[in-house]
Amino acid sequence: MPVEYDEPSGTVVLRTEATCYVLRVDRAVLHVHWGAHLPLEDAVGLPVRSEPDNSFAGPFDGVEEYPVEGGARFGVPALEVRFADGQSPVEPEVTGVRVVGAGHVVVSLRDRVRPLTWETHYRVPPDGDVLERWTEFEHTGTSGPLLLVRHAAAHWPLPRRQRWRMSAVHGGWSDEHRLARTELAVGETTLTSRRGHTGHQANPWVALDTGGADEEHGEVWATALAASGSWRLTVQRTAAGEVGVILGEGHEGAEIALAPGRRHVTPVSVAVHSPGGFGAVSRAFHTYVRRHVLPYPGESRPVLYNSWEATGFETSEEGQLRLARRAADLGVELFVVDDGWFGTRDDDRSGLGDWTPHPGRFPRGLRPLADEVHRLGMAFGLWVEPEMTNPDSELFRRHPEYVLHLPDRTATELRHQLVLDFSRHEVTEWAYGRLRRMVAEHTVDFLKWDFNRSFTEAGARGGGPDARRVHIEHARGVHRVLDRLRAEFPRLRIESCAGGGGRTDLGMLARTDQVWTSDNTDAVQRLAIQHGFSQVYPARVMSAWVTDSPNPLTGRRVPLAFRFHSAMAGVLGIGGDLDRWTPAELAEAARLIGLYKDIRPLVQHGHQYRLLAPGDGALTAVQYVGPDAGQTVVLLWRPGAWFGPAHPPLRLRGLDTGARYRDEDTGEEWSGATLMGFGLPLPCLPDGDCASALVRLRQVA
């Protein structure tokens, strides 16, 4: 049973396949256990952590499931309220516990005097190891709004341990998802985005272990937030040894005014515990995303071609048709026209918001190009940036009021553009109407939805108590537009992009099909970016391109095979100028695209094992295993030249120890026990920098 509830003791046990989570509901909602499975009769008898022995400590600090600001509580609050009279303390009272269906528990609370109720929801999705939590608030009064100053989705208390280490990602534009593991300091460690979108600098997830976990061993606890706007995640470690993680939308100052009778529902926070190291936690997240988040989880993502690096803004019908024919000859399945196809878009200074074909570049419109792309056997896609406008655009001249800006402040332009305020109904109605006409008129199968600058001067016109709510509501407006588009056009597929990986989160993945991982297409640097990305997000959504050499961003020269092998670790795309590729390169590309299609079911739907991390040695390696362990593929890279001793055999994971596996290229055979115990003998890599290999193994007995 995913949920067991002992009503006399108030003990609730939530079970996933590998772990259980125990709380106790009495005068307060207190945490008991999160870790290995326990029988209910033992959970009922477990003590809650001991009461403090001095008047400077709070009795609920670190043990309350959803801490509030009020009473003898001195830790980070999940809920902080400013009532109509300016008072803030909350005095919670439990009003009920109910089990909803097989795996869903709701604990209801209210303030003892003030007009506020809230429900904390716990849910165990089937067939996995993830727990979900969220919170719903309601103003039960009849006059005056109250202000939700902090409104977290969840607080996840962790067990007491002597030592803690924190894993998270950091970075910037073209340097996203850089994994770092550091000792957790006593105090409050906060990760956040104040930018109005998920951000390149951090991502809304964190993993914690006691310092000894590795890829396949050791207890790890991890949690993530399904929010696409500004967000805040705080890990608190007290001097008394209590540790917990609080996650929520917004940041300091991003408050929500709740009018009488109104409700506010937080995004979902998901969490995983595993004794099987960071790899097991990642695979649990990957399974959850594939089964419970993605709109079409069973689909395989197509091989795409994107024209940006070939043409820049110099798009034309003739040039795109030529590239489309070359792409089709390679075996590409989706052709995407990037920036420059619309309005007066001759550079990045004009045209955003004018989503009609450029009259000089596409005098016949886009339909002839779309028809030819479809005739060639490919789907047709367009780049769009619906949340932005240039001051030099017809949209801005007609509707300057649509822009996210305060009238008495100077508008800050970044990349010569301004942000449209998607927290406003009239703006999202305009965006939806324009997008639906564009998709219908041009028979568009795919949108690359971009977002190329962060918020500035973000506030509600006319002010008000929650003037900065736009940091939350803009992203929710984007979600609503995406939901409507997908409902009207079930065949439409969408890629989330924000200058690369600046809007990668579970909230966007519930409405899109893949993520543009980074604007950095350097095949070597991508290995570290993809390594960090894979900690939470599966290869099934990780878009990766093969581009030209030398790389347009870094100038690095990389062999074509290495570029392909790097991109084949996710959703393969081609982004180079095919007009400049030699016949030999085109032939090799066609061969490797065919090879990718062969391994695609494993990469996009199999279990991922990070065998050798980037930077830990001369080699980097990742393995994908089919659900029944009948097939596996290994991608291996050596970014630099190597003159030391030979690398030891590569010990594989996830195979059937009693079965035999044949290398589909060499014909050599080994048992699963040998491949996991002794290891796979490494293939011979070419000399010099940037050598790589791909090994396919299939079960034969």
What confidence tens digit (pLDDT) does each residue in 16-38 have?
Answer: 999 999 999 988 999 999 999 99
User: Is 616 annotated in some ligand binding site?
Assistant: no
For residue 137, pLDDT over 80 is answered with yes
Confidence at residue 87, expressed as pLDDT on a 0 to 100 scale: 85
Tell me if 203 is assigned to a ligand binding site.
Answer: no
**What's the confidence (pLDDT) of residue 50?**
66
The C-alpha atoms of residue 167 and residue 95 are separated, in whole angstroms, by 37
pLDDT given at position 684: 87
Interior angle at CA 408, CA 404 and CA 413, nearest 5? 45
- The catalytic residue positions are 450, 519
Is 687 a known ligand-binding residue? no
The pLDDT tens digits of the residues spanning 520-566 come to 999 999 999 999 999 999 999 999 999 999 999 999 999 999 999 99
Q: Is 450 annotated as a binding residue?
A: yes
pLDDT band at residue 643 using 50, 70 and 90 as cut-offs: confident
Q: Is 338 annotated as a binding residue?
A: yes
Tens-place pLDDT, residues 495-522: 999 999 999 999 999 999 999 999 999 9
The helix (run of H) or strand (run of E) holding residue 209 is: strand 205-209
Domains detected in the chain: 3-47+58-293 (2.70.98.60), 304-463+492-604 (3.20.20.70), 611-699 (2.60.40.1180)
**pLDDT at residue 397 greater than cutoff 80:** yes
Residue 451 marked ligand-binding: yes
As a whole number of Å, the end-to-end CA separation of the chain is 36
Annotated ligand binding at 690? The verdict is no
Tell me what the mean pLDDT of segment 348-352 comes to: 97
pLDDT at 144: 87
Cα within 13 Å of Cα(599), Cβ side: 30
Query: Is 516 annotated as a binding-site member?
Result: no
Inform me whether the pLDDT recorded for 98 exceeds 90: yes
Note the pLDDT of residue 122.
98
Q: What is the DSSP letter of 392?
A: B
Helix (H, G, I), strand (E, B) or coil at 680: strand
Report residue 87 CA to chain centroid gap. Answer: 37
Peptide bond before 550: cis, by omega within 30 degrees of 0?
Answer: yes
Kindly provide the residue ranges of all beta strands, DSSP E only, lying in 69-159, ordered along the sequence: 79-82, 92-99, 104-111, 116-123, 130-139, 146-151, 154-158
pLDDT digits (tens, 9 = 90+) for 603-641: 999 999 999 999 999 999 999 999 999 999 999 999 988
Q: Which residue has the higher pLDDT, 285 or 411?
A: 285
Is 684 annotated among the ligand-binding residues?
A: no
DSSP per-residue string spanning 488-520: H-TT-EEEE-BTTBTT-SHHHHTT-SEEE--S-
- Confidence at 62, pLDDT banded by 50, 70, 90: confident
Tell me: is residue 173 an annotated ligand-binding position.
Answer: yes
Task: Report the percentage of the chain scoring pLDDT > 70.
Answer: 99
pLDDT value for 461: 66
Higher pLDDT, 445 or 407: 445
Annotated binding-site residue? 111: no
Two structure tokens written together for 464: 């008000």
